[in-house]
Amino acid sequence: MEEAVNGHEGLVCEGRVRCMAWSYDGETVRNLVRGEQLLTTFAISASEDLRDFCLRERYRLGYSPRTKTFAVLREGVEIGLLIYEDWGPPQGYIYEVFVLPEFRGKGVGAWMLAQAERIARELGCTSVKLEPRSLDRLQHTNDALISWYERKGYVQCDQDGSKWVKSLSPL
């Protein structure tokens, strides 16, 4: 069964099947997480590709020639933004995992983090680095965010605690 998502065609998957295909040229990417929750991701090449003002601003602030940016949609609605910065092997860099407040706590951030790690592996990276910083300190402190990344396998890699890294297993 197919459905249109922001003008793109997406494949609807059922059950726990994981549909996955990444593209860096603006084509739709299909993914599924947690049963019937369909998350569709597509590459962004300009802020105008985004409808949500907050996500457009996050894109504008995070853009660089080395970034690959993906909008995450649930049932055609933008819910998050993933910005991956391509440093080239052996290490990738996750610039931003941002989920709109009303969609937090539903596993979307963890799913997006896993997709960023997959991108890094596909680009030949053996580790991925990030700098945890809460963009919504009223709801989530930096300490809470760091604890979340630790549960996902990240370890501190510098003296001041600002950078964290995770070793990646090969595909």
Q: What is the pLDDT of residues 81-115, one digit of tens each?
A: 999 998 888 999 999 999 999 999 889 999 999 99
Residue 25 lies in a domain: no
Residue 100 lies in a domain: yes
pTM: 0.76
Q: Per the domain annotation, does 37 fall within a domain?
A: no
Q: CA-to-CA distance for 21 and 82, rounded, in angstroms?
A: 16
pLDDT at 137: 65
In a domain, 32, yes or no: no
Phi-psi region of 124 (alpha: psi -120 to 50; beta: other; left: phi over 0): left
> By mean pLDDT, which of 32-41, 43-52, 145-154 is the weakest?
32-41
pLDDT at 22 over 80: no
User: How remote is the C-alpha of 80 from its chain's centroid?
Assistant: 8
Residue 2 lies in a domain: no
pLDDT of 3 strictly over 50: no
Question: For residue 2, is pLDDT > 80?
Answer: no
What integer pLDDT is reported at residue 42 of this predicted model? 87
Q: Which residue has the tokens 């894109």?
A: 59
Domain that holds residue 64: 46-69+76-167
Domain count, the chain: 1
Q: Does residue 125 form part of some domain?
A: yes
Is the residue at 8 inside a domain? no
Tell me if 96 is assigned to some domain.
yes
Q: What confidence tens digit (pLDDT) does each residue in 62-71 have?
A: 999 999 999 9
| CATH code, domain carrying 65 | 3.40.630.30
- Residues 113-168: pLDDT tens digits? 999 999 999 999 999 999 998 887 677 788 999 999 999 999 999 888 899 999 99
